[in-house]
Chains A and B, each alone.
Chain A
């Protein structure tokens, strides 16, 4: 293809060019050019310059298009963001593009996502709506302007005199379709981009193209169905679990006996029973491959029985977890994070307080617990090229990690993205467990290898959401208003993105989180729960971080590895805050929902609280002291409320519970969630996201606590890591607040899972007069708190 261009023009900082080479059909493709400093994480893979060039990458300034407008008026969009079931890339993204381009939703006939060789940007499967301007929106806005330029030339009418309806540009009594504008031409629009393609945040579209005012939206706001649901439900979709390559071997990995064991002697394979199997050892990584899955499973079991690992017991006992965190963990080495809303003088306000609340709150380790254990298929070719077939929240970061592991450049790694079981954050840093192991084993045997973790591997060798504790002090003045609020959050490092197979095999990885680490590779516990009670004059929020438990003591540098999980960090920070606010309201003799409204100034905070109050039938009254909670088989009932702001969206939740004092059993009987994301893009999809999140939140609140001992995780299956079932799910009412005047849209698939715990704990308090400050609210903890 010729690179000669003509007719170059500047479009709000983007460059429109018309190449002389004409391909059949014609198209306008929107690529990317790198501008500005790249944000490279230390230790992250260096290689393809921001993904801008090199083989196996689309050339972002030319062919790696975000958006293609075809001569037949169909439109294709591409995004590196990989759907994890919320459907945003298949519903909200086409809706956003359709509105920016002034075309119907149906004009966007194809969404290409995730694959590293055919998408333009990276970043993780989180924050899809990008604070209201996701990359795809800006790319569409640039594209629209370029189309106006083309139409202006074609029609001989000034841009300002043009109008566009359903992809037809009109002006001066003439009109032309987008398809006609690009027909028989090869047009390229180069837009400015910054960032690190292989970093967790990926590339970001820069510049300031004019974007369509929300008041003109015609596609956003409607409930379009997610087309992928039909494919999945009708068994037409190829899942990652379905990928089979010619000559592929099945593998199982025999993971070490503890989170600090080294391999003493690999077990000998019983060749009589498993004639086609093979054992692969790389450092402390032990894999078993076989042509059939059943032979691989059985052979791995046999080898595991015969393998000897060194002893290790470097974790605190589970019962001593919070004592360990409080008394033995090092919170001094890591810099203390300060809240952005810190103000006034908390100490003096507290010393002159009329009443004071001083309390500590404890949260457990939890699992992401995907329904399908992690798996991947790798095909390492003779020429060093690696093809990886995965379900992954950040394929571009995975690509960098695999390249680093192999000492090659990301150009040599192609990650193919497929649907799979939800990860809830586990792989947003590029790996979920099996990807690197599949590569190592494929390279060893010279054939494609499919590594499938068994349920126990997934419980014991994946990362966890870190435990945490927070100390809170709240001062009330004589009128019962909060005069001071202090909170100190404590949590081990939350983002260990090292591929565990590479760690076991002794191959290169990024560093483990440490006090010196950069960005989220640091142990710093950043404040992630925006303060919403602006009426409190003295506020001090601090975050304290430390190393992951057992990592330094583990000879293999493993220990309890942590990873961000849905609403990461904010879950651990919002629970103590919201329960403490409820306790402060009780101390003041005030209704906890009205107490929140009375301390807020942001109208959307008040609005979301009023919405959840009205929708739940909330009775405004203070929680009263109950004396009957010590015993009895009759359920006590109460209600509680919680509040959060996340990714542009305001959330409030009311849960109503029944507590049986004799057993400590808590049942959620009703749950109401109010959501104000600004503009609601797709009501039906948002409602389903909120319901799902709320159910996960109930599961977190009532059941989830990772069991472990000094050696490692003792959960091996769903029998010892319980999650909510249908029987645990109450009627859930979702109230969507469409606030178009906000002019932007916030996220919807995080936060909902973090609202229930504090609302339920507050409801238990309302029901019983007792406060259960330790999660989960399982019967033994609740019963214990009721006896105090």
Chain B
């Protein structure tokens, strides 16, 4: 059994040690926010946070996760609640400001890449609360193993949603 810390909970999975984290999350832990896009760390659809840093779960063997905390799309609201010191009751039913901004801006088209996009946005905004347009672009293109790809072409809407999320998070501070 391999122990994992995921979205604030301790979990154990009975899988081969070289199984990519993506398949463990989706098939064993039923955390289906991250999507399979390429299996090659080339698109970002499978992104999760590992101790706050965006990684591609499709190429991350589960055995390498260790005691780092995994955050998926499902865990973003609780992550925000914890950062804001909210109680479980206050936190229930709320969304992370990044998610709220994605709704406000009507960002997704098909939405398949957007879990990874929101994970990337969260990583960015946790370290840079008011990124410039070029800092946003850098985060989504040059900061990781590959650019985050969106075939529907929602990059303009993503930029606007990151800026809105930055405002929401600052207001919520």
Q: Which residues of A come within 8 Å of B, CB atoms?
A: 84-87, 225-226, 229-230, 232-235, 239, 241-242, 244, 292-295, 369-373, 419-422, 424, 452, 454-455, 684-685, 688-689, 691-696, 699, 717-719, 723-727, 729, 732, 753
Contact A235 B157, beta carbon cutoff 8 Å: no
Given A233-B102, A294-B15, do A422 and B112 touch, yes or no (CB 8 Å)?
yes
Q: Which of A87, A233, A419 has the most CB of B within 10 A?
A: A233
Instruction: Name the distance in Å between A174's Cβ and chain B's nearest Cβ.
Output: 42
Given contact pairs A372-B36, A695-B150, enumerate 8 new A-B contacts (beta carbons under 8 Å).
Answer: A230-B103, A232-B111, A241-B32, A242-B26, A293-B27, A419-B110, A717-B38, A726-B141
Contact B153 A692, beta carbon cutoff 8 Å: yes
Contact B112 A371, beta carbon cutoff 8 Å: yes
Is B113 part of the binding interface, using a Cβ–Cβ cutoff of 8 Å? yes
Number of contacts between A and B (CB, 8 Å)? Answer: 173
Q: How far is the CA of A717 from the CA of B59 in the complex (A)?
A: 15
Contact B103 A233, beta carbon cutoff 8 Å: yes
Pick from B32, B39, B136, B155: contact of A695, CB under 8 Å: B155
Contact B108 A233, beta carbon cutoff 8 Å: yes
Contact B37 A371, beta carbon cutoff 8 Å: yes
Instruction: Name the distance in Å between A300's Cβ and chain B's nearest Cβ.
Output: 12
Task: Return chain A residues, CB-CB under 8 Å to B33.
Answer: 235
Is B89 part of the binding interface, using a Cβ–Cβ cutoff of 8 Å? no
Residue of chain A at shortest CB distance from B109: A85
Contact B108 A229, beta carbon cutoff 8 Å: yes
Task: Return chain B residues, CB-CB under 8 Å to A717.
Answer: 38, 40, 42
Q: How far is the CA of A376 from the CA of B58 in the complex (A)?
A: 20
Is B122 part of the binding interface, using a Cβ–Cβ cutoff of 8 Å? no
Contact A226 B153, beta carbon cutoff 8 Å: no
The 26 listed contacts between A and B (C-beta, < 8 Å) are A86-B109, A229-B107, A233-B99, A233-B114, A235-B115, A294-B19, A372-B36, A421-B35, A422-B152, A455-B37, A688-B106, A691-B153, A691-B156, A692-B152, A692-B154, A692-B157, A694-B153, A695-B154, A717-B40, A718-B43, A718-B149, A723-B149, A725-B155, A726-B136, A727-B142, A729-B155
Task: Return chain B residues, CB-CB under 8 Å to A226.
Answer: 106
Residue of chain B at shortest CB distance from A232: B111
Interface string of B25-54 (1 = CB under 8 A from A): 011000011011111101101000000000
Contact A726 B155, beta carbon cutoff 8 Å: yes
Contact A239 B32, beta carbon cutoff 8 Å: yes
Pick from A419, A424, A691: contact of B154, CB under 8 Å: A691
Instruction: Name the distance in Å between A778's Cβ and chain B's nearest Cβ.
Output: 17
Contact B157 A726, beta carbon cutoff 8 Å: no
Q: How far is the CA of A692 from the CA of B150 in the complex (A)?
A: 9
Contact A726 B112, beta carbon cutoff 8 Å: no
Contact B111 A229, beta carbon cutoff 8 Å: yes
Instruction: Name the distance in Å between A201's Cβ and chain B's nearest Cβ.
Output: 23
Task: Return chain B residues, CB-CB under 8 Å to A294.
Answer: 15-16, 18-20, 23
Pick from A232, A292, A696: contact of B152, CB under 8 Å: A696
Residue of chain B at shortest CB distance from A458: B38
Is B169 part of the binding interface, using a Cβ–Cβ cutoff of 8 Å? no
Is B4 part of the binding interface, using a Cβ–Cβ cutoff of 8 Å? no
Residue of chain A at shortest CB distance from B156: A691
Residue of chain A at shortest CB distance from B152: A692
Given A688-B157, A695-B155, do A727 and B106 touch, yes or no (CB 8 Å)?
no
Task: Return chain B residues, CB-CB under 8 Å to A241.
Answer: 26, 32, 35-36
Is B171 part of the binding interface, using a Cβ–Cβ cutoff of 8 Å? no
Task: Return chain A residues, CB-CB under 8 Å to B112.
Answer: 239, 370-372, 420-422
Given A235-B115, A239-B35, A371-B113, do A696 and B153 touch, yes or no (CB 8 Å)?
yes
Instruction: Name the distance in Å between A189's Cβ and chain B's nearest Cβ.
Output: 34
Task: Return chain B residues, CB-CB under 8 Å to A235.
Answer: 32-33, 72-74, 115
Q: Which of B15, B109, B118, B155 has the most CB of A within 10 A?
A: B109
Contact B147 A726, beta carbon cutoff 8 Å: yes
Contact B15 A725, beta carbon cutoff 8 Å: no
Instruction: Name the distance in Å between B32's Cβ and chain A's nearest Cβ.
Output: 4
Pick from B35, B45, B110, B155: contact of A85, CB under 8 Å: B110
Instruction: Name the distance in Å between B49's Cβ and chain A's nearest Cβ.
Output: 14
Interface string of B133-156 (1 = CB under 8 A from A): 000110011100011111111111
Q: Which of B35, B110, B147 has the most CB of A within 10 A?
A: B110
Contact A726 B109, beta carbon cutoff 8 Å: no
Is B164 part of the binding interface, using a Cβ–Cβ cutoff of 8 Å? no
Pick from B15, B45, B146, B151: contact of A696, CB under 8 Å: B151
Contact A424 B151, beta carbon cutoff 8 Å: yes
Contact B73 A692, beta carbon cutoff 8 Å: no
Q: How far is the CA of A723 from the CA of B36 in the complex (A)?
A: 18
Q: Which of A234, A719, A726 has the most CB of B within 10 A?
A: A726
User: Which B103-133 residues have C-beta < 8 A from chain A?
Assistant: 103, 106-115, 118
The 10 closest A-B pairs by CB, nearest first: A695-B153, A85-B110, A422-B110, A725-B147, A85-B109, A421-B112, A692-B153, A718-B42, A726-B155, A232-B111
Task: Return chain A residues, CB-CB under 8 Å to B110.
Answer: 84-85, 371, 419-422
Q: How far is the CA of A242 from the CA of B115 in the complex (A)?
A: 14
Is B159 part of the binding interface, using a Cβ–Cβ cutoff of 8 Å? yes
Contact A723 B151, beta carbon cutoff 8 Å: yes
Task: Return chain B residues, CB-CB under 8 Å to A229.
Answer: 102-103, 106-108, 111
Pick from A225, A369, A726, A753: contact of B148, CB under 8 Å: A726
User: Which B58-110 residues have C-beta < 8 A from chain A?
Assistant: 72-74, 77, 95, 99, 102-103, 106-110
Task: Return chain B residues, CB-CB under 8 Å to A373.
Answer: 36-38
Task: Return chain B residues, CB-CB under 8 Å to A371.
Answer: 35, 37, 43, 45, 110, 112-113, 149-151
Q: How far is the CA of A370 from the CA of B35 in the complex (A)?
A: 12
Residue of chain A at shortest CB distance from B72: A235
Q: How far is the CA of A530 from the CA of B151 in the complex (A)?
A: 27
Task: Return chain A residues, CB-CB under 8 Å to B99.
Answer: 233-234
Is B158 part of the binding interface, using a Cβ–Cβ cutoff of 8 Å? yes
Task: Return chain A residues, CB-CB under 8 Å to B150.
Answer: 371, 695
Contact B118 A233, beta carbon cutoff 8 Å: yes
Pick from B18, B74, B114, B137: contact of A232, CB under 8 Å: B114
Task: Return chain B residues, CB-CB under 8 Å to A86.
Answer: 109
Task: Return chain A residues, CB-CB under 8 Å to B26.
Answer: 241-242
Residue of chain A at shortest CB distance from B146: A718
Given A233-B118, A294-B23, do A691 and B157 touch, yes or no (CB 8 Å)?
yes
Task: Return chain A residues, CB-CB under 8 Å to B15.
Answer: 292, 294
Contact B156 A370, beta carbon cutoff 8 Å: no
Q: How far is the CA of A232 from the CA of B43 in the complex (A)?
A: 19
Contact A726 B137, beta carbon cutoff 8 Å: yes
Q: How far is the CA of A719 from the CA of B149 in the complex (A)?
A: 12
Task: Return chain B residues, CB-CB under 8 Å to A295.
Answer: 16
Contact A292 B27, beta carbon cutoff 8 Å: yes
Q: How far is the CA of A239 from the CA of B42 in the complex (A)?
A: 21
Task: Return chain B residues, CB-CB under 8 Å to A684.
Answer: 106
Task: Return chain A residues, CB-CB under 8 Å to B155.
Answer: 695, 724-726, 729
Task: Return chain B residues, CB-CB under 8 Å to A692.
Answer: 109, 152-154, 157
Q: How far is the CA of A635 from the CA of B106 in the complex (A)?
A: 36
Residue of chain A at shortest CB distance from B40: A717
Contact B109 A688, beta carbon cutoff 8 Å: yes
Pick from B73, B118, B151: contact of A421, CB under 8 Å: B151
Instruction: Name the distance in Å between A714's Cβ and chain B's nearest Cβ.
Output: 16
Task: Return chain B residues, CB-CB under 8 Å to A419.
Answer: 110-111
Q: How far is the CA of A717 from the CA of B146 in the complex (A)?
A: 12
Instruction: Name the distance in Å between B134's Cβ and chain A's nearest Cβ.
Output: 9
Q: How far is the CA of A287 from the CA of B88 in the complex (A)?
A: 47
Contact B153 A693, beta carbon cutoff 8 Å: yes
